[in-house]
A and B are shown apart, each in its own frame.
Chain A
Amino acid sequence: QKEVEQDPGPLSVPEGAIVSLNCTYSNSAFQYFMWYRQYSRKGPELLMYTYSSGNKEDGRFTAQVDKSSKYISLFIRDSQPSDSATYLCAMAGGFKTIFGAGTRLFVKA
């Protein structure tokens, strides 16, 4: 069993839709939870990070962590074509970050 499971998609939505991206994990030692966005032929860039259960909001993005269920989510409101990218969930504890496989998102204008 992989430490982090993420549906690779692809996920295709119309512009303006609410997008929900999810990951599950198995290692209870993970204390930090991140979402990265990766455009084609670029390195990942950090979108959000949190270290507690609950919700964290930043503009159109909301990260949700449920440690009891070992489940994290990223919600994107009012999705834009510029949001088309691969979204990677990531988890850390002990200075090593483990990434999910990434979900490819396409937002159609």
Chain B
Amino acid sequence: ETGVTQSPTHLIKTRGQQVTLRCSSQSGHNTVSWYQQALGQGPQFIFQYYREEENGRGNFPPRFSGLQFPNYSSELNVNALELDDSALYLCASSRDLQETNEKLFFGSGTQLSVL
């Protein structure tokens, strides 16, 4: 069983640029959630995708957007990067919506630095 994989592992961008982060969910999982984790903080919910549709969104501006593909892999796009976007971006998958309440399986994250 393949776990959740994220790419790239590290990324350096400058303010104003755009970035795309990628996530392959665990085999058999159809739900993907994205989280932002600033240094010393817990993960903050960005949004969730279930069967290619956005199923909920946290308190993040519209410049944070996402996609989920038919194979349930997912992308997180961030436009007009700001310095405060520097963080670890985590992708988590779950077998279905109900298991999202109980068990999230996380990737190792993408460390984004905005200069």
Instruction: Kindly identify, within residues 48 to 101 of chain A, every residue whose CB is under 8 Å from any CB belonging to chain B.
Output: 49, 51, 88, 92-101
Question: What's the tally of chain A residues with a CB closer than 8 Å to chain B?
Answer: 27
Question: CA separation between A44 and B108, bound complex, in Å?
Answer: 8
B51 → chain A closest CB, angstroms: 13
- B101 and A88 contact, CB distance less than 8 A: no
Decide yes or no whether B21 CB sits under 8 A from chain A: no
Decide yes or no whether B102 CB sits under 8 A from chain A: yes
Question: What's the tally of chain B residues with a CB closer than 8 Å to chain A?
Answer: 27
- B101 and A92 contact, CB distance less than 8 A: yes
Can you report 13 A-B residue pairs in the complex whose CB atoms are below 8 A from each other? A6-B42, A32-B102, A43-B92, A43-B106, A44-B90, A46-B104, A51-B101, A92-B101, A93-B101, A95-B56, A95-B98, A95-B100, A98-B45
- B109 and A43 contact, CB distance less than 8 A: yes
Measured CB to CB, the nearest residue on chain A to B31 is A95
Question: CA separation between A43 and B37, bound complex, in Å?
Answer: 10
- Contact bitstring A22-38, B, C-beta under 8 A = 1, else 0: 00000000011010100
Point out the residues of chain B lying under 8 angstroms from A100, CB to CB: 42
- B42 and A43 contact, CB distance less than 8 A: no
Point out the residues of chain B lying under 8 angstroms from A98, CB to CB: 45
Residues on A close to B: CB < 8 A? 4, 6, 8, 31-32, 34, 36, 41-46, 49, 51, 88, 92-102
Out of A6, A31, A88, name the residue touching B43 (CB < 8 Å): A88
Question: CA separation between A31 and B102, bound complex, in Å?
Answer: 10
- A43 and B101 contact, CB distance less than 8 A: no
Question: 3 closest A-B pairs (Cβ-Cβ)?
Answer: A43-B106, A99-B42, A92-B101
Q: A88-B43, A99-B35 are in contact. List 11 more A-B contacts (CB 8 A).
A: A4-B42, A32-B102, A41-B108, A44-B90, A46-B103, A88-B42, A92-B100, A92-B101, A94-B101, A96-B58, A96-B100
